[in-house]
Chains A and B, each alone.
Chain A
Amino acid sequence: MTSMEETIHHHIGDDLLMGYSAGTLPEAFSLMVAAHLSLCDTCRAAVAAYDAVGGALIEDDGVEMTEGSIEHALARIELASAPEPVPERKRCAVLPAPLADYVGGDLASVKWRPVGMGVRQAILPTSGKATARLLYIPAGASVPDHGHGGRELTMVLQGAFSDEIASFARGDVETADESIVHTPIADVGADCICLAVTDAPLRFRSLIPRLIQPFLKI
């Protein structure tokens, strides 16, 4: 049995994996974790273990149900229909299933918008303050030099990129925070597609005046 994990070198931190299992992350970060787990057995196993912690905690104490609740439940399952079939999810070579769900199809369904220098992005609809978006960086091009107001996770879906710190290929996740100003550059072999999530707006240093950033939602 071969698996993809051997090629993944940059994983998601324990606190986010635990938060995903606990169900307390903003939706955009849950989407990042679900997309990474789709490609990474190692983190999937870690999340299974955190789920088991949740199972052990829930076992420990409870609050009594009201009188007659069992009869009510038995009546409900009497009305229940046949077991629900699991819906077949779309498969796409680049987008893992949870991303295909948000895009509503494969790569061709992504509604890209230019952000300058050949770079394109598509914001995915998630609730809350954190933002998820797909980035398209032409081979050899750089993502505009930027710092981060909060935490930013970037996962490669196609191609590869490198910055001052390391190299990232499909499935690898780069985690950056306030302290990091970096310039990711897409490798020359292929155009690079990434999923990026942030819990604060990016601060582009040169390309786009900061004043108009809120309007572009970047």
Chain B
Amino acid sequence: MLIALEPIDETPAPLLATGSAGRAMKKAGRRTLGKEEATPDAGEWVRLMLRIRDERDRAAFAALFRHFAPRVKGFLMKSGADAALAEECAQDVMTTLWNKAHLFDPSRASVATWIFTIARNRRIDLLRRDRRPEPEDLPWGPEAEPDQEDALALQQESERLRAALKALPEAQRELIERAYWGDVSHSEIAAETGLPLGTIKSRIRLALDRLRHAMK
């Protein structure tokens, strides 16, 4: 429902549809992509999140912590934090997950995406000491009870996106990672990799085009 129904001038193409548009997308191109063995799927993380939200379930929290805290720590270290600081921040991020569980909406984001946004915001006030301006809430939402089918579609698309990212050529994937991890602009990446800025921008664009294609 966040997706424009008609083409608009200069419109950026979303990688990932949400809500009912996402459902339509899923029906149009259902595919099975390889899941990692023995790793719980996105749906399992959602079930654990909802147990935290509804029952304040500590075992569910511990399970999410075991999986995500090391990932948040790794993310912050790649962004320049030392191990001790990254560990402390990962603790903060997971505490925020517990405290703000009522704000988690599985029809809008996967648990990994939601945790990414919390970790990113923590990184901004920690490493940069900037404010993080957030957009106004949508005037018509959020709906009281998120649609189950929308939530399922969103979680499945998140898994497909993850698989599509893994399938990217190494050079493209690496530039996308750098764009997310680092507190570095494209021109700084250029200085470091020796690639001209235009090449970097076109590689990132190519990577995003591939992702879009994979999500169709």
On whether the two chains bind one another, the answer is yes
Q: How far is the CA of A8 from the CA of B94 in the complex (A)?
A: 38
> Counting CB contacts under 8 A, is A106 at the interface?
no
| Minimum CB–CB distance for A49 against chain B, Å | 4
**Do residues B185 and A24 form an inter-chain contact, with CB atoms below 8 A?**
yes
Indicate which residue in B61, B108, B134 contacts A34 across the interface (CB closer than 8 Å). Answer: B134
Interface residues on chain B, number (Cβ under 8 Å): 89
Residues of A within 8 A of B193 (CB): none
**Do residues A69 and B135 form an inter-chain contact, with CB atoms below 8 A?**
no
**Do residues B136 and A38 form an inter-chain contact, with CB atoms below 8 A?**
yes
Q: How far is the CA of A46 from the CA of B87 in the complex (A)?
A: 31
Interface size for chain A: under 10, 10 to 19, 20 to 34, or 35 or more residues? 35 or more
**Do residues A63 and B86 form an inter-chain contact, with CB atoms below 8 A?**
yes
Residues of B within 8 A of A177 (CB): none
Residues of A within 8 A of B58 (CB): 74, 77
Which residues in window 138-186 of B have CB below 8 A to A? 138, 140, 157-158, 161-162, 165-166, 176-177, 179-186
> Counting CB contacts under 8 A, is B43 at the interface?
no
Q: Which residue of A lies closest to B73 (CB)?
A: A63
A34-B135, A73-B69 are contacts. A56–B1 as well, Cβ < 8 Å?
A: no
> Counting CB contacts under 8 A, is A41 at the interface?
yes
Q: How far is the CA of A58 from the CA of B70 in the complex (A)?
A: 10
Interface string of B118-134 (1 = CB under 8 A from A): 01110110001111111
Q: Which residue of A lies closest to B12 (CB)?
A: A46
Indicate which residue in A17, A53, A73 contacts B176 across the interface (CB closer than 8 Å). Answer: A53
4 tightest A-B contacts by CB?
A55-B113, A62-B70, A49-B15, A97-B136
- Which A residues contact B (CB, under 8 angstroms)? 1, 5-6, 8-15, 17-19, 21-24, 27, 30-31, 33-35, 37-38, 41-46, 48-66, 69-70, 72-74, 76-77, 80-81, 83-84, 86, 89, 96-98, 101-102, 126-128
